[in-house]
Structure 1
């Protein structure tokens, strides 16, 4: 669907760079490390109430909440539309203030604009995705227009990993359960998830699982080592086997966008205090291509680990702490890039950013598989920001890229959903 010159002019005239930047800075200013998302969920809801009164904050656990809003002036049974999704939580800020002490960047939540970029924890991952959606809907409203087909804003808790007892996608699980109960509907023919993509269109991402390996022997005083069973010796065997396994994975068939499967050992701890070390722990992450099965990959890994331990006295345990849409981890995402709606989104990006909008794969895992599997809605990722500096002290989003993203979202909503004039019967 195209829009008239008059509608295009109204949308352009309603652009307000200062207001859009304020939305992003406001989102960053509300701390929301995983497990503490409720405050930013209420902040997002307040922003969305400027557009529509159909807004809900679903507090599903202490300190935890999702934000859902829906805006449409068309037939409420019309299922064609968009979901604009992002996650509300960020990774921790430990060490940030020390790293930037005495500079404008010292506070991770101040969101200063420096050298043409907004800085702070979560600017790219994933507050920009939240802010782009909100700013786009507010601009549409300022233009005196409203979408005919529904636009659903869905901002979720618990996407990030790293904080104990969280990071298992409880937010999106909750949102889908609520939608299936008939409340806070999630229906559309495309989900745009606001993970950082530098405004390329990510139609796929890897699958993954994290494994914690525990090798248990028997601790003993150093003067009587014969009474103990050293857990560090088999750890050496396991590490060697894991690295060899990773080398083998790198030679297996690669996905054109995602690349080859891989394994990375991410940590090791063990030892005793002047004693035979009775336990050792190894952590790793396994990257999967769409052609790989998570259960088969888990079984293969466990065979490698157990096959490497030659001492029968050693107890070998494996656990999988990052359960997502699967019992051990997260499935790969594959959305057909040839879908008309995806091609339309690409074209819209290129209208505003000619060097962006290319089809690519995310070098990360996120929650698109839930929407595809549980709701049957194709999902892509599109938002400003570069994943390479997310989770670091250098997290920032270029202002120009962010404002262009708002323009892309506004135009795509107008063209995909259709628009008509606001009136007394259409909301605010």
Structure 2
């Protein structure tokens, strides 16, 4: 069946605003700080069952920490579309104290203030998860039957910050099932990280390096007997900042900008003594096409060349391995691809001024599809990454509802519809 030109108008007319908003607020109200994903998964299981999804499964990627996935099989020949997002949120330390005595005090209260839903996880990324499920419900209300399949998968352990967590254990478990043939491969994937309804076909890569510089302590009156780790750290930082300028000058990516490194921490020193040990931490931004292995080797060489005293020891550690042992790779797909243009157009139709094609200034789990599985993927969802992980986390209600309409329209356009 041909899809009517006024699809967006038809979907808007059928939208159950209160029901879609209730789904979103209920998601925020189910606390799921990394490690406690099961609380939110139980909520999702109930809602996904209510949508009549088939193949509904949960499986633990770590003890007590489940993923969940299911699908709506199409009634004809059409493409398979996957919506995926992470169920965990960052911590709420200090939230209640910051908002004490206000409507925002409960980080999981999902208060609606100034036509926005407030709370931890509202933007990152329960608005996206809720909008994708509400979009399928909207198609049902509008009487639109899909030819292709729409699948949903919600995984844990994306966020970092909690001890022993944040290594993408959930998505590693899920993509391994795709590789094993236990879960059907999608033709296209939308990862519902917050983008303000823009479409992100490219994202940065990153790694974190912890550098330990060890010299030899000595009493301050006889510094010549020591090896000053703090002085060596100064030399290393000077060289690293110069290296950052050099890599930034190499190239600029149209969507994600330039590479650089940022020194994020320096600790060490001595008490009335030559400092024996210092530790540096840095994060390196990478562009699509840059190798993590090469970039890490360049940083190690830069530091070792800057510290000329052979008696000062330097050690490197990379604590944030994701889809790579050292960190997370950058990824991109063709920004002019039909699917990208289609999703962009539907979001622009759903809300004026949205649907821009941009690059992700963050790392999330798109590379597991693009780089590991060879499946095209983008980010797109309601919410603004700039207020996520902060006390200001919130999502505009109208943007969220536009996301529901936009996702529903994209499902229909991409998967096709039947009589």
From the superposition, tell whether residues 309 and 8 of structure 1 become closer, same or farther in structure 2 (CA, over 3 Å).
Answer: closer
- Contact 1:79/1:189, CA 8 A, preserved across alignment: no
From the superposition, tell whether residues 6 and 270 of structure 1 become closer, same or farther in structure 2 (CA, over 3 Å).
Answer: closer
- Contact 1:349/1:408, CA 8 A, preserved across alignment: yes
| Equivalent residue, structure 1, for 2:369 | 371
Q: Does 2:402 match 1:401?
A: no
1:341 Cα offset (Å) = 1.7
1:338-386: CA deviations, max 9, x gaps?
2112221122112112311121101111111111123221111111111
- Listed as ranges, the matches of 1:217-228 within 5 Å are 217-219=215-217
From the superposition, tell whether residues 190 and 307 of structure 1 become closer, same or farther in structure 2 (CA, over 3 Å).
Answer: same
1:248 Cα offset (Å) = 2.0
1-structure distance, mates of 2:224, 2:63:
50
2-structure distance, mates of 1:39, 1:168:
20
| Equivalent residue, structure 1, for 2:73 | 72
| Equivalent residue, structure 2, for 1:153 | 152
1:272-304: CA deviations, max 9, x gaps?
456544322111111111232221111111111
From the superposition, tell whether residues 32 and 221 of structure 1 become closer, same or farther in structure 2 (CA, over 3 Å).
Answer: farther
Structure 2 unaligned blocks of 5 or more: none
- Listed as ranges, the matches of 1:306-317 within 5 Å are 306-317=304-315
2-structure distance, mates of 1:21, 1:275:
61
1:32-86: CA deviations, max 9, x gaps?
22222122122212111111242111112133221111111336xx672210011
Q: TM-score, normalised by structure 1?
A: 0.91
- Contact 2:160/2:166, CA 8 A, preserved across alignment: yes
Instruction: Report the aligned-residue RMSD.
Output: 2.3
- Contact 1:50/1:138, CA 8 A, preserved across alignment: no
- Contact 2:29/2:109, CA 8 A, preserved across alignment: yes
Greater CA deviation, 124-133 or 33-42? 33-42
Report the secondary structure of 1:74's partner residue.
coil
Q: Does 2:341 match 1:322?
A: no
From the superposition, tell whether residues 163 and 2 of structure 1 become closer, same or farther in structure 2 (CA, over 3 Å).
Answer: farther
| Equivalent residue, structure 2, for 1:252 | 250
- Contact 2:209/2:281, CA 8 A, preserved across alignment: yes
1-structure distance, mates of 2:180, 2:397:
40
Report the secondary structure of 2:250's partner residue.
coil
Greater CA deviation, 298-307 or 44-53? 44-53
- Contact 1:128/1:384, CA 8 A, preserved across alignment: yes
1:212 Cα offset (Å) = 0.8
Report the secondary structure of 2:319's partner residue.
coil
- Contact 1:56/1:69, CA 8 A, preserved across alignment: yes
2-structure distance, mates of 1:79, 1:272:
67
- Contact 2:54/2:73, CA 8 A, preserved across alignment: no
1-structure distance, mates of 2:208, 2:78:
37
1:215-263: CA deviations, max 9, x gaps?
1234567688676543222111111111222222222211111111111
- Contact 1:72/1:146, CA 8 A, preserved across alignment: no
From the superposition, tell whether residues 228 and 102 of structure 1 become closer, same or farther in structure 2 (CA, over 3 Å).
Answer: farther
Q: Does 2:311 match 1:351?
A: no
- Listed as ranges, the matches of 1:169-318 within 5 Å are 169-185=168-184, 187-219=185-217, 229-272=227-270, 276-318=274-316
Structure 1 unaligned blocks of 5 or more: 422-428
- Contact 1:203/1:380, CA 8 A, preserved across alignment: yes
Aligned residues: 418
